[in-house]
Chain A
């Protein structure tokens, strides 16, 4: 009984926090300049959080080591772009391929889901042969797959669909969805003008948030428990009647599904996409986010994703700019130095925080409250179980 009411409180608090967060984002869009760095960090951060969580589902919760994230994101991004470019823009976009092969388009939401489905279909096909082998092969096979898919999407013969090695553009971006029209209209009704509000950040948060919530629900379900059993001991899991091949396939396809969706969201964020950008370096970035956040911690992946994007896109930018203090050039500061510092920071984290920021723990409102009580109100009973 007590547990139930605790759960209810947790749920209520979470709901309130989510509403406050979305409202806060709205206020930021309303009052801050749209070129503020914070929007880049928030939008890209939340999209990376989704793909990191999807990778964590596989690496952290099922014990399968896959390195195909960039490949599945590419499939998702292209699926989204190909099906949403407005018909009147296709001649311009596919200028070298006679306006392209596809002459229709689909609504944004459906295209995003389709992006996930396409990625999952590819994952299913790769998984059939590879998931039966030892898990090291999965890493190699998925890495190879990501490289091959990148080459295929740049192949000229597929140009009428993929636009070859040229950019895909003019598809609806984060700030030109139906949602952003709706939120602009509301803003206009209230304040008499739309100002800078586009709803882009809110859209990215809602879309990624729904996906992450689904992954969390899955992990907490009986299937999630089966995944963890496989991660802990395959032989024992199988002896408990868990079909290894089937469950690995499920985890792999779902992880890829959400990687595909995050690819679509990344396309919306970037406004243009090109297959050559989805390099394996991107997968390594995501892997880093997962490791820094804690393998097996969803909230860890989310937190580290924002930190990672903030550091790489914002806080360390100054390292790339040459600077003079009193006529003397500050040593080291030049283009590329940021990457060096960044690598050192990451190495330090990996060396000194093996477990990442969160280990396998999760950050929950109740956990934070308990921690708060324990630290600041000494008499509180020590009952906190989670971080």
Chain B
């Protein structure tokens, strides 16, 4: 088996009294495309927010390539309030900020597109090269880093070419049609040089044709950038098509995991989720 890239162990995220993610454990291995599915409000986006450090999980641990991104246990007012499982299993606290986690090789896109609104397509991607800079404030201000700057720009252009946005590079990011904005978000995430890419509903708002293109595109970038991908999606065709493995959650809890065929045949998943989406 190939090596583990991401490991979540007993992760619980509790907001006040709401347990959004409950004792979730999952693994993503190198080169895999893994999907996270579940009904609305199941806690999928919250899982992403916990992995990327936007929220500090209440309990559990997360590792990336063997390095601890998070380890936490209920403390403060959560000590009393905690409604999850495995209380007392973890005793160490490790918390990393989102920017540190991105530097370690996790990049993401957002369910509600979050582009830099006042900036062009090109600038949106260019700024994501900032974290790999070797220049400091002084050399950057006085243009002593011109070689690196030129490299950043050519790499950005290359990325835009790969994702097919080269022709709109000078347009305002928000003027693009929806599908292209999603692509731009992916390009921006790729610019941070991730090992692991998290895609939150990349096909949302796309028509069937665009969705098919997206499937090919995700395969493409996985191979080209040697990525491991974890994605959240409601388009079941896409999910079943693209995934090596699938995790299904409901009310924050894992209800099933396995290959697309196994998931499609799983009664719990059909009851909680698949049955519902087919009606929609």
Question: Given A232-B116, A360-B118, are A238 and B141 also a contact pair (CB < 8 Å)?
Answer: no
Interface core residue of A217, A232, A239 (most chain B CB under 10 Å): A239
Tell whether, in the assembled complex, residue A238 and residue B119 are in contact, meaning their CB atoms are under 8 Å apart: no
Are A225 and B123 touching (Cβ within 8 A)?
A: yes
Report, as a range, how many residues of chain A touch the other chain: 20 to 34
User: Measured between alpha carbons, how far is A237 from B191 in the docked complex, in Å?
Assistant: 13
CB atoms of B141 and A240 under 8 A apart:
no
Q: Which residues of B contact A296 (CB under 8 A)?
A: 118
Q: Which residue of B lies closest to A229 (CB)?
A: B127
The interface on chain B, measured as residues whose beta carbon lies within 8 A of the other chain's beta carbons, has a size of 37
Known contacts A239-B108, A240-B102, A242-B130: does B116 contact A223 (CB below 8 Å)? no
Check B114 for interface membership: any CB of A closer than 8 A. Answer: yes
Q: Which of B54, B108, B127, B191 is packed against the most chain A CB atoms within 10 Å?
A: B127
With a cutoff of 8 Å between Cβ atoms, the chain A residues found around residue B110 in the complex are 235-236, 239
Q: Is A250 on the interface with B (CB-CB < 8 A)?
A: yes
Partner of B107, one of A226, A239, A242: A239
In Å, the complex CA distance between A328 and B67 comes to 86
Interface hits, A205-256 → B, CB 8 Å: 214, 217-218, 221-223, 225-226, 228-229, 231-233, 235-244, 250
Please tell me if B4 contacts chain A, counting CB pairs below 8 Å: no
* Most B-side CB within 10 Å, residue of A226, A228, A240, A244: A240
Which residues of chain A have C-beta atoms less than 8 A from B108's C-beta? 239
CB distance B114 to A235 under 8 Å?
yes
Per the bound structure, the CA–CA distance linking A309 and B123 in Å amounts to 36
Flag the segment in B27-35, B132-140, B161-169, B175-183 that touches A. Answer: B132-140
Say yes or no: B137 contacts A223, CB within 8 Å: yes
In the complex, per-residue mask of A288-301: 1 if CB is within 8 Å of any chain B CB, else 0: 00000000100000
B68 in the interface (beta carbon within 8 A): no
Q: Do B99 and A225 touch (CB < 8 A)?
A: no
Highest count of chain A CB atoms <10 Å: which of B137, B143, B149, B152: B137
Asked if A222 and B54 sit within 8 Å, CB to CB, the answer is: no
Are A241 and B102 in contact, CB atoms less than 8 angstroms apart? yes
Q: Which residue numbers of A lie inside 8 Å of B, CB to CB?
A: 214, 217-218, 221-223, 225-226, 228-229, 231-233, 235-244, 250, 296, 360
Query: Which residues on B are within 8 Å of A, measured CB to CB?
Result: 52, 54, 97-100, 102-103, 107-108, 110, 114-119, 123, 126-131, 133, 135, 137, 140-143, 145, 149, 152, 188, 191-192
A-B pairs with the 4 shortest C-beta distances?
A241-B131, A241-B102, A232-B116, A236-B114
